[in-house]
Amino acid sequence: MTATPLIAAVLLLLVTFLSTHVSSLRIKHRISLGEGENRDLFRAIRAHANALEHVVPFVLLSLLLEETTGLSDLVLIAGVAFIVARLLHAFGMLRRIHRARQLGATLSVMIEIVLGVLLLRVGAGLVGL
């Protein structure tokens, strides 16, 4: 099984949900550009942008790691953990639950660092698989 397409599909659905949420708030509050000093819209925009800032590099990292190592199980486990982290972050942002946002952000970065270091080691020939 190839894990990256599955992970990418789920993360795309999350990003699409966040984008749709921004659009619905824009329509509701009649704000076509910017956030119009609306705190809920500002949070929704930031939740969507933050998801994109992390999701795109993570999917690329997953693809490279899976293709170069064949470690689909590791990528799948990391991907599921990353999805949970991003859901926590988005939920925390939109519902103003600081702990969920903080935990989601921390887990996201930790997973990115671990996989990034592993890919760096593979690329440098320091890990024999």
> What pLDDT, on the 0 to 100 scale, is given for residue 24?
95
> What pLDDT, on the 0 to 100 scale, is given for residue 128?
63
String of DSSP letters for 35-83: -TT-HHHHHHHHHHHHHHHHHHHHHHHHHHHHHHH--HHHHHHHHHHHH
> Quick one: DSSP state of residue 26?
H
Domains in the chain: boundaries: 3-123
Q: d(Cα 78, Cα 84) in Å, to the nearest integer?
A: 10
**Per-residue pLDDT tens listing for the chain (129 residues):** 699 999 999 999 999 999 999 999 999 989 888 888 889 999 999 999 999 999 999 999 999 999 999 999 999 999 999 999 999 999 999 999 999 999 999 999 999 999 999 999 998 888 766
> What pLDDT, on the 0 to 100 scale, is given for residue 129?
60
> What pLDDT, on the 0 to 100 scale, is given for residue 123?
87
> What pLDDT, on the 0 to 100 scale, is given for residue 42?
94
List Cβ neighbours of 72 (8 Å cut-off, separation of 6 or more): 1, 2, 3, 66
3.40.50.300, 3.40.50.800, 1.10.3720.10, 1.20.120.550: which CATH number matches 3-123? Answer: 1.20.120.550
